[in-house]
Amino acid sequence: GAGVSQSPSNKVTEKGKDVELRCDPISGHTALYWYRQSLGQGLEFLIYFQGNSAPDKSGLPSDRFSAERTGGSVSTLTIQRTQQEDSAVYLCASSLDGAGEQFFGPGTRLTVL
Amino acid sequence: GQQLNQSPQSMFIQEGEDVSMNCTSSSIFNTWLWYKQDPGEGPVLLIALYKAGELTSNGRLTAQFGITRKDSFLNISASIPSDVGIYFCAGQRAGAGSYQLTFGKGTKLSVIP
């Protein structure tokens, strides 16, 4: 499978705990994106990586959210001290470059109890 | 953040009927995209529109880029059960920030056999 993969597919956590979500982009894609999809909503942009750097973090909703990308490949989205309003599907996408078609992974469904 | 106005929110149609959905925006986009999302999956690109007034078909799907660059519609002809899913429009700007897609809230399509 050469598509974008994400893990875990589902994550249930307790309020106040930290979580890490992982994204493996398509090999050779330099651009990587994280989106959040709340119930009944469209996709909300969180962060964009070009290579290992993140020129745009403007969509991160609070300082509890952070992301990194290493080796120009795998990315991790970390949410610290999770809150119930963080419950959503977190989608990762990658593209050949910053303007190309974005291919999405299946998402991680996060539930904060 | 900014979102596109997508309508209708949901549709129930009989198999074989045609479907139409649309998106409007208060600002101009240089590219309009239409995605479909199946349950438990990430969105998949159906059609991309690059020029104002452009009409593009992909099988039973037809989409148009509005002449003002502030709207787009998607038509599905002769619907079949596998058309069930959530359809999203997305707008993309040119130049700096072109990586960032702005999504509508989606149209949930149900097809009654």
Q: Name the strand (E) or helix (H) holding A85.
A: none
- Structure tokens given for A44: 């909300």
Which among A102, A103, A108, A109 is the top mutation candidate for probing chain B, defined by the most B β-carbons within 10 Å of its own β-carbon? A102
Query: pLDDT tens across A26-69, in order?
Result: 999 999 999 999 987 889 999 999 988 887 888 999 999 999 99
Is the pLDDT confidence value at B1 over 70?
no
Higher pLDDT, B94 or A6: A6
CB contact under 8 A, B99 and A48: yes
**Nearest C-alpha of chain A: how many angstroms from B12?**
17
What confidence score (pLDDT) does residue A1 get?
54
- 3-class secondary structure for chain B? CCCEEEECCEEEEECCCCEEEEEECCCCCCEEEEEEECCCCCCEEEEEECCCCCEEEECCEEEEECCCCCEEEEEECCCCHHHCEEEEEEEECCCCCCCCEEEECCEEEEEEC
Query: pLDDT tens across B47-56, in order?
Result: 999 999 999 9
Residue at token pair 């992909």: B58
| Residue of A31, A40, A105 with shortest CB distance to B42 | A105
